[in-house]
Amino acid sequence: MNVIFVEPAFPHNQREFVRGLCAVGARVIGIGERPVSHLDGELKQWLADYEQVGSVVDEAAMLAAVKRVQKRVWVDRLEATVEAHVMTSAKVREACGIPGTSVRTAWLCRDKPAMKAALREAGVPCAQSIGVDSLQSAHEFAASVGYPLVVKPRSGAGASGTTRVDTDAELAQALRAAHVDRGASVALEEFVEGHEGFIDTIAIQGRVAHEFVSHYYPGVLVAMRERWISPQIAATNRLDAPGYAEVRAMTRRVIEVLGIGTSATHMEWFFGPKGLKFSEIGCRPPGVGQWDVYAAANEFDIFREWGMAIAHGRTLATPSRRYACGMIALRPDRDGRITGYEGADRVWAKFGEWIVAAHLPPPGTPTQPIEAGYMANAWIRIRHPDYDHLRWMMDTIGATLRVRAQ
């Protein structure tokens, strides 16, 4: 099978998808923005062919590159695993007659108001939402739904560009910051109170082949705005617990309604006073290295499993569910340059046997703003057979290990 993979070299974990495809016998053709001479030797060995383009989100350039490949070989699949690449890839895929995620599905997974409208019509519980391109329509929605509300990009990922507003004045400020007063369009949503989590799948022809449930502590909006917090993402190994039945059923309904065939998916949800509410979906794997968390928790090669799904329409391994596994982000106490760490020796002495990966940038490394994400600075990945004990370990690490900067 010949599979075109979009942007195999950046970000760095993209190479793992190429490796996974290569491991199951696929012939992988990369399309990326770097010259082939800039690819490392291992990645070159996994790639059977390569096309360079100026930008992988330039539809005309991508279409021309794919057509050049099609003149040389039959192309069975064209895959993209980065949110920003999904729509362009879908358009090129349809233009070239290659199977995979359709433009309609890609659009519904990107445009939040359209996504929620389609799901509400199908009976999936969602927050009230609307796409607005004027201050007047936004204030009319606010008057109807009430505060608090959330202003977010129509096609953003995660909490990027997302703002909670609690008054008319804050709403007007957020809308002007998003240039709505100059014709831009944003998603405006009811703020849903409750615990925030996500469920990730590998689907094959609309059927869930693998699934994993994770939890945010605290919710993303708070975690991405408060420096003193060491936020956690924890993947449970208790998927068969009765409390997850509703979210697992909702996942399958969303896949059906949005027409998702063979693809990774990432779905966010809330559970609170109003019950379970679907938040949003990406028709691609999760970010923040979460597939590495699932691999460590379940003692299997999830990238190879994805490669099997894409290339052969099936999976091979069964997740062990032996461990719960999580990642804790460790923020510098200020912006500047890292000067050192306090408490690291105590953390490794106490929990070293359970730590599966860590990133502690050396002193002198420039810090990144907390808005840059969970893995922007220091982080630790840890696992344990008991989910509650895992949470305790991550809480202890967050209270013990300090990243100093000046």
Cα–Cα distances in Å, from 354 out to 119, 186, 321, 357?
40, 43, 15, 9
Average pLDDT over residues 370-376: 91
Q: Where does the pLDDT of residue 128 fall: very low under 50, low under 70, confident under 90, or very high at 90 and above?
A: confident
In a 10 Å sphere around its CB, with 0-12 CB exposed, 13-18 middle and 19+ buried, how is residue 264 labelled?
buried
CA 123 – CA 356 distance, rounded (Å) = 41
Average pLDDT over residues 5-13: 95
| Contact of 215 with 236, CB cutoff 8 Å | yes
Is 2-100 in CATH node 3.90.79.10?
Answer: no
Q: Indicate the fold that domain 128-190 takes in CATH.
A: Dna Ligase; domain 1 (3.30.1490)
| pTM to 2 decimal places | 0.92
pLDDT tens-digit profile of 83-98? 999 999 999 999 999 9
pLDDT tens-digit profile of 279-301? 999 999 999 999 999 999 999 99
- Token pair belonging to 13: 């974990």
Q: Where does the pLDDT of residue 157 fall: very low under 50, low under 70, confident under 90, or very high at 90 and above?
A: low
Sheet holding 186-190, edge to edge: 129-132, 186-190, 149-153, 163-165
Nearest to 160 by CA among 186, 194, 198, 191: 186
Query: The domain 195-405 is classified under which CATH number: 3.30.1360.120, 3.30.9.10, 3.30.470.20, 3.30.110.40?
Result: 3.30.470.20
Query: pLDDT at position 43, please?
Result: 97
For 131, the 3-state DSSP assignment is strand
How large is the angle between the packed helices 83-95 and 103-110, nearest 10 degrees?
160
For 269, the 3-state DSSP assignment is strand
| Contact of 190 with 217, CB cutoff 8 Å | no
Of 119-133, 193-207, 293-307, 343-357, give the lowest mean pLDDT range: 119-133
Domain-by-domain residue ranges, the chain? 2-100, 128-190, 195-405
Tell me how crowded residue 141 is: count the other CB atoms within 10 A of its CB.
Answer: 20
- Token pair belonging to 337: 């340059």
Cα–Cα distances in Å, from 302 out to 16, 27, 342?
10, 19, 34
